[in-house]
Amino acid sequence: MGTGKSVLIVDDSSFIRNSLKTILENAEFNIVGFAKDGLEAVSKYKELKPDIIALDVIMPNMDGIQALRIIKSISDEVKIVMVTSVSAIDKIVESKNAGASNYIVKPFEEEKVISVFSRL
């Protein structure tokens, strides 16, 4: 499934960070780091250069869509999946237009997360 692809998990909730870590590690992804807000996500991206980023939208300091734009301006290679509770279609379109590969709405099913990440 994951075949060792590296993943950075960005969410201000430790509950979600831990849930995603468990799901993705069981699917053979390599979790290389965590960030709690958009600013930290940009910094961790530069440091760790992961293959994939799981990125929340509503976070303190810098939101996920701002972080998405900055990270994609650094490298278009990285795959970014928005993982958020915000289900409004305008946010999904905005994320897609800013370069997100996919969008998962919380609460998520384990199968959905694995399916989306495995296709990247």
Binding residues for other proteins, per CB under 8 A? 12-16, 18, 58-60, 84-91, 105-107
- Nearest distance from C-beta of residue 89 to other proteins, angstroms: 6
Decide whether 49 or 106 has the Cβ nearer to other proteins: 106
* 8 A C-beta contact, residue 11 and residue 56: yes
Check whether the bond before 107 is cis (ω within 30° of 0).
Answer: yes
Looking at residue 56, the DSSP 8-state letter turns out to be: -
Decide whether 54 or 78 has the Cβ nearer to other proteins: 54
Decide whether 46 or 112 has the Cβ nearer to other proteins: 112
* 8 A C-beta contact, residue 89 and residue 83: no
Q: Is the dihedral of CA 48, 52, 57, 58 positive or negative?
A: negative
Distance between CA 4 and CA 57 in Å, rounded?
A: 25
- Nearest distance from C-beta of residue 13 to other proteins, angstroms: 4
- Nearest distance from C-beta of residue 43 to other proteins, angstroms: 19
- Nearest distance from C-beta of residue 109 to other proteins, angstroms: 9
Decide whether 31 or 65 has the Cβ nearer to other proteins: 65
